[in-house]
Chains A and B, each alone.
Chain A
Amino acid sequence: MAVYREDMKLVRRLLAGDERAFDRFYDENSARLYRFALVRVADDPDGARDITQVSLTRALRKLHTYRAESALFTWLCAICRNELSDWLSRRGHYRKHIVLTEDFPEIRAAVESIQVPDAERPEVAYQRQETLRLIQVALDRLPPRYGNVLEWKYIEGRSVKEIAAQLHLGHEATQSLLARAKRAFAEVYKSLMVGVRQPVNGAART
């Protein structure tokens, strides 16, 4: 079983009251968790915000129970799922039929196993809408730094120089980071696309 040492270190620092650890924890996870919630509450930003806040708060209260057996973000997503379920049932929403591709355990496991992978073969052969959504999902499943540099470079169109300045890195190091991020993205995206082709138990997103 994989042990997420970096995440465990971060959790220990959080429990010790390290402010920088909090900044990192919050900056790396809050927006991703918000998007995780947003797509599951039919793009209701207020609902997603409330769920994210309650999930993060609940996670912090249970932080001492984190065992690093899954990535910290995955652990947060599990807490968020419970909050989503409560939130939806409180509002009488009936969304049991909505199953997101990335919610399949097999895909989650595959995504979690990604560290800094070699390039493999992702597929791009699905409906445009789902493709675009999955790009965002994949970016969120990458280590935060990878997701950010890819978004800045290829979606927002920032230059390598600007990204280097933002990250306080040299030009070469930034290019190297971008290359690693692209490889990791390809791997995660491929995992998600496999899920689209082969939904588990016949479930599909509506």
Chain B
Amino acid sequence: MTDRNESLRSDESLERLLGQAAPRPVPAAHDAELMRLAVHTEWRSIVRKRRTNRRAVALALAASVVVTLGVLLSTLRVSGPDRVAVATIARSFGSIYTLGDQSELYVAARLVQLRADETILTGSDSGMALAWLEGGSLRIDANTRVTFKSGSEIELHSGRVYFDSESFGVDGRPASGPLLIRTEFGVITHLGTRYMADASGRSLAVSVREGRVSIDGTHYDAIAGAGQQLRLTGTGRPVIVGMDPYGETWTWIERTSPPADMDGRSVRDFLGWASRESGLEIRFASAAAERLAATSILRGRVDIPATEAVPIWLQTTDLEAHIEDGFIAVSTSHARTAN
């Protein structure tokens, strides 16, 4: 035994011993990603609650009466509304989970409706389109965790969401009021707009395609308009930069686009939908092409991303389209043949 100990003592023996072992098992990459996301979000929520509690204690020292009222109010809020439906799922793909009370994950394969206080977690290969019952279309990207607080408020813990308040006729109806998006960095409100909130990093980025968005930040307030992106990081001042309403950052929204019923709709309607989904402007090469788009009627249901659908669907008409930088150019087939 002593000899063995002596030999193991030497580096060579140790190295041989280690060499016999297999690499230590780790969770599958996809599981690991989801697990990290869930734990990280929970941690952020805990930190937020601690900060809130600290502020509450400070207030208590200053004005105990006010705090008592606050506690009463918060108690009323907690015991308040039951779990009402807030959205129906218009499309979902990939791994989607709901979160249990103990942060355990449940596969949400057959979920058709979402209720208040429900939390959804999407995996790296997934996405969702929700028809918001108060109107509008909410899209959820991969690696996102979001809690549906009520019919007019969600909490984005991490990841990306996109809201189109006027996505009517396709996957919902126009929003009857603003949807509040609560984040660690502040509360986002809007009126009649399309915008994306990205809390996937250590900052919040709000990119606006249309309309205006205001952010009631934890430290600063700010407003961003169409073609702008507003970034909030920690306690830093908000930064606003110009941003195209189309391109790589936005392509995930097309992937989550729910099937669009185009039966009996004109090509103009179809192009309007494609423009809304992709952020690309429509440019008709001629008045004739525009007239033809208004009078040509389509049949069927679009179930592929808008930028892929446009050239394919126009093949069934006397129009054709190609995508250029920032716009979809539409011309008559005849015009192109003549050229």
Contact = CB atoms under 8 A, between A and B. Distances in A.
Contacts of B14: 122, 182, 185-186
Interface residues of A, number: 51
B104 interface: yes
A60 B39 contact: yes
Interface stretch (B40-48, B160-168, B190-198, B302-310): B40-48
Given A30-B36, A185-B14, A186-B14, A50 B104 contact: yes
Interface stretch (B2-10, B68-76, B224-232): B2-10
Interface in B107-147: none
Contacts, number: 126
A141 B238 CA distance: 44
Contacts of A48: 27
Contacts of B11: 179, 182
B22 interface: yes
B26 A135 contact: no
Given A49-B27, A135-B18, A154-B19, A54 B104 contact: yes
Interface in A133-178: 135-136, 139-140, 147, 150-151, 154-156
Given A38-B25, A49-B31, A54-B102, A121 B8 contact: yes
A48 B19 CA distance: 26
Interface string A111-138: 0000000011111110010011001100
A13 B113 CA distance: 39
A22 B44 CA distance: 10
Nearest to A34: B27
A57 B103 contact: yes
B78 interface: no
A15 interface: yes
A35 interface: yes
Given A53-B39, A57-B42, A186-B8, A154 B27 contact: no
B6 A26 contact: no
A19 B202 contact: yes
Interface residues of B, number: 41
A56 B103 CA distance: 10
Interface of B: 1, 4-6, 8-9, 11, 13-15, 17-28, 31-32, 35-36, 38-40, 42-44, 46-47, 50-51, 102-105, 202
Q: Which 9 A-B pairs have the closest CB atoms?
A: A121-B5, A154-B18, A135-B21, A17-B47, A57-B103, A56-B39, A57-B42, A53-B35, A122-B8
Given A17-B51, A53-B38, 7 more contacts: A26-B40, A53-B105, A120-B9, A122-B8, A132-B22, A151-B24, A182-B15
Interface of A: 14-17, 19, 22, 26, 30-31, 34-35, 38, 45, 48-50, 52-54, 56-58, 60-61, 63-64, 119-125, 128, 131-132, 135-136, 139-140, 147, 150-151, 154-156, 179, 182, 185-186, 189
17 contacts: A16-B47, A17-B44, A26-B39, A30-B35, A31-B27, A35-B25, A49-B27, A50-B105, A53-B38, A57-B42, A57-B102, A60-B46, A123-B4, A124-B4, A124-B13, A131-B20, A179-B11
